[in-house]
Structure 1
Amino acid sequence: MIELRLDKFLKVSRLIKRRTMAKEVADQGRVTINGNKAKSSSTVTSGDELVIKFGQKLVTIEVNDLRENVKKFEAESLYKVIKEEQNE
């Protein structure tokens, strides 16, 4: 079973455009994996539920697939958005 670092998954899936930004977001405690706070070095596996805080928005996704490289149009196939909600 393949595993990826959290910062790499966020970049490859294009949820966050640059890996340095993904690392910062994770290390600021704005990402959880299956309910646990995650660091940029945390491993992501298929089936994990991630909650990412983007400013005033909370996005919950389920990881469908993990790959080292994907084309832009394939990036959305790596995850499924479960819900998006405004964070007060």
Structure 2
Amino acid sequence: MATMRLDKFLKVSRIIKRRTLAKEVADKGRIHINGQQAKASSNVKVGDELTILFGQKKVVVRVEKLQDSTKKEDAGSMFVLLKEERVGEES
């Protein structure tokens, strides 16, 4: 079964626009793969569920396919958005 580095998947799928930013988010412990905390170097495969915390927003996606590169309009087909919710972190 094919796998891809988490930071590369996030960039190619355009969930996070830049790989350096994807690495930063992962290194801060804000990304989980199937409930396990993930690093930028963690591998993702088709069927994995990613939970990503972006500031006040929590996004859950399922990996649908892996591609080394993609056009902007095809990037959305690499994952399915399962849930998007605001995290109640009042400041």
TM-score bracket relative to the smaller structure: over 0.9
Identity %, equivalent residues:
58
Q: Which amino acid aligns with 1:60?
A: V
- Aligned equivalent of 1:8: 8
Residue 53 of structure 1: CA displacement? 0.3
Structure with bigger gyration radius: 2
Q: Which residue of 2 aligns with 1:77?
A: 77
Structure 2 regions of 5+ residues with no counterpart? none
**1:60 is the counterpart of 2:30:** no
Aligned residue in 1 for 2:51? 51
* Rounded Cα–Cα distance in structure 1 between residues aligned with 2:25 and 2:77: 22
Secondary structure of 2:81's counterpart equals strand
Structure 1 portions without partners, runs of 5+: none
Q: How many residues align?
A: 88
Q: CA deviation at 1:2?
A: 1.5
Asked if 1:34 corresponds to 2:34, the answer is: yes
Q: CA RMSD in A?
A: 0.5
| TM-score (norm: length of structure 1) | 0.98
TM-score (norm 2): 0.95
Q: 1: distance between equivalents of 2:23 and 2:59?
A: 17
| Alignment deviations for residues 7-61 of structure 1 (CA, whole Å, 9 cap, x no partner) | 0000000011100000000010000000000000000000000000011000000
Residue 61 of structure 1 aligns to a residue whose secondary structure is strand
Dislocated runs of 4+, deviation >3 Å: none
